[in-house]
Amino acid sequence: MNELFGPFSIIVLIVVLVALVRNYFYKTQGTGDEKVRSAAPDKYLPYKTKKTLMTPSERMLFESLRGVLGTKYDIYPQMKLDKIFDIEYQRFYKYYLGYLRKINQKSVDYLVVNRQTQSPIFAIELDDFSHESEDRRDRDDFVEELFNKANLPLVRFSPGNYKIEEVKKVFEKYLV
């Protein structure tokens, strides 16, 4: 029995030492511009600032919107649905969380609000190529149903050149 225990102890000791040495180098590797990784996820932050917040199509529409809306309205890009909609009281917290999960990772391309009250007037979706996949169409159907139920207009645009006069015509019924 002692003969087996001796080699087994040595193997366990070697495995533990290798793990400790590997962990040490994993935490401290990297020089210069290399990213220093940490075994602890809360220490390693693999984030960087985006070069732009909008696609070229979104930017073109945004500029047209700013020209149309003037000083009476504000426009917010990439507005998360959980910032637009409240969830009705749910007796059980797990139901609340379920409804929250359905909206907290979804957004609309733009939300137009009254500048004085900051109350939502309508939302805008730019239906570019990303809206062609089946899962995206399901998401679009859900968002459309949500906006309809809340009586908040959702205006859809296709990518293209957005002339201010054409955009004004679309928004006439929403802008008072």
What stretch(es) of the chain map to CATH 3.90.1570?
56-171
* pLDDT number for residue 9: 75
CATH code of domain 56-171: 3.90.1570
Distance CA 138, CA 144 (A): 10
Distance CA 102, CA 104 (A): 6
Q: Which of 108, 94, 90, 91 is nearest to 153 (CA)?
A: 108
pLDDT greater than 80 at residue 166: no
* Percent of the chain at pLDDT exceeding 90: 41
CB 140 within 8 A of CB 94: no
Which residue has tokens 């909609």? 85
HSE-up (13 A, CA, CB side) for residue 50: 4
pLDDT greater than 70 at residue 40: no
Q: Is 155 helix (H, G, I), strand (E, B) or coil?
A: strand
Query: pLDDT band at residue 121, thresholds of 50, 70 and 90?
Result: very high
pLDDT greater than 80 at residue 52: yes
Strands 107-114 and 73-80: antiparallel
Q: What is the mean pLDDT of residues 86-113?
A: 94
Query: pLDDT band at residue 33, thresholds of 50, 70 and 90?
Result: very low
Amino acid at 28: T
Q: Is 93 helix (H, G, I), strand (E, B) or coil?
A: helix
pTM of full prediction above 0.75: no
pLDDT tens for each residue of 123-155: 999 887 666 777 788 899 999 999 999 999 999
* pLDDT number for residue 165: 79
